[in-house]
Amino acid sequence: MNVLHFSTRDHYGGAFIAARRLHRALRQLESVDSEFCVSWKSNGSTDITGLDSHLSSKIRRRLDRLPLVLSNRDKYTYHSLNWLPHPKAVRHVRKTDPDVVHLHWIQNGFIPMTALPQFHKPLVWTFHDMWPFAGMRHHEFEDPPRCLGAYDSTNKPSSMQGLDLDAWTWKRKRRIIESLDVTGIVPSQWMAEKARASSLWQEKRIEVIPNGIDSSIYQTRDRNKARDLFGLPQDRKVLLFGAMFADSDGNKGMKELIEALELLKAEGHDDLTLAIFGIDGCPEGMQMPFPAIYTGIVREEERMAALYNPADVVAVPSLQESFGLTACEAQACGTPVACFDTSGLRDIVEHEKTGYRAAAFKPEDLARGISWMLGSTQTRERLAAAAREKMQREFDLGVVAKRHADLYRELMEKE
């Protein structure tokens, strides 16, 4: 069977990485021929198709945001309208004639909703955040009163002036989704609850299939060698934190983590070093309570896997995650995770079994969990063994790819 995946990018971000991994895992199955199609591809990979040049992709993204600029709402960095037509996408579907079209994160002006009815193929859509059933926003905490219901004048925030772009985007989605035979895939039970409760998807099929991790890459390694690789001290505890745009994306919880670290400092933890990836230095206006080593953006999976290993604890203090790829990767490498008890992270981190889920969003409890795990080598080893076993059982990439292939086959048989 032939499957065509659409994703805005093939790099830089958990949603894109998860989609690319799935595509390549599917290609290892004898029954699936998978193609990965993006707006602009970052390298010369022959198994990835780019529809736009780098310049045209950038222009599309800026034009798509033009209504936000005109309404003085361009501050919403992660809000998407997706109103621009993209005839190349429709032509590509007709040219390749796949059996199934699988949508991933398609925002930033890539695939407009109006293109979906023109594909005339069984559709699968993985929700990497809440955009498929929200207005133009990507996270529930940005839009709590409206996200699961209808968008109208009665629930429009008083602070919102001018055109209600959320309502305009949501109504376009409703009109199109109602007409489609589309199956939603969500990576966590929490996302399933939200999607099934939303007025847009109540009548549609929702399947829970987690993102996959390649256990041949994300595995335990020599701890001392890994520390030498990144210049981390051998005689201090190491806490790892990081994410793309962690310094500017408040959802990643850097502010809450620093508050927790300040509490640890006040309690006398003076043997801790921080390893921070995704950014090049401490953001302006923030101060790290402990010595920190910054790795910048880590693009290679082998290097990322090596970075999880020297850490005693990985902190994932996100306010909301549809899944929690960083937490899953860390646990696959046998490193326990401290996170908040929220969203998709609940499926990955089992409290005091594979890590610590702090009360949301309490820095003091996050500090308590980090301290508990740092305080005992025996505790960390117990958590690490359980985390690795859970990963192999539930999140191994081969298992996840097979579940997707079974779903594709079922949808094809219905045609």
The domains spanning 2-212+396-414 and 223-394 adopt the same CATH topology? yes
pLDDT at 141: 64
Q: How far apart are CA 257 and CA 228, in angstroms?
A: 25
CATH of domain 2-212+396-414: 3.40.50.2000
pLDDT at 10: 86
Architecture of domain 223-394: 3-Layer(aba) Sandwich (3.40)
Walking along the chain (415 residues) 10 residues at a time, the average pLDDT comes out as 95 86 94 94 85 92 85 62 93 97 95 96 95 85 69 77 85 94 96 92 95 93 92 96 84 94 93 93 84 90 94 96 94 96 96 97 97 95 95 94 97 85
Radius of gyration, alpha carbons of the chain: 21
pLDDT at 13: 77
| pLDDT tens digits, one per residue of 154-185 | 787 777 777 888 889 999 999 999 999 999 99
Residue 391: which residues within 8 A CB-CB, separation 6 or more? 213, 215, 218, 328, 331, 332
pTM for the model: 0.89
Specify the residue for token string 């290679």: 300
Alpha carbon of 175 to those of 21, 100, 117, 206: distances in Å? 32, 22, 11, 19
Burial of 402 (0-12, 13-18, 19+ CB in 10 A): middle
Show me where the domains of the chain are located: 2-212+396-414, 223-394
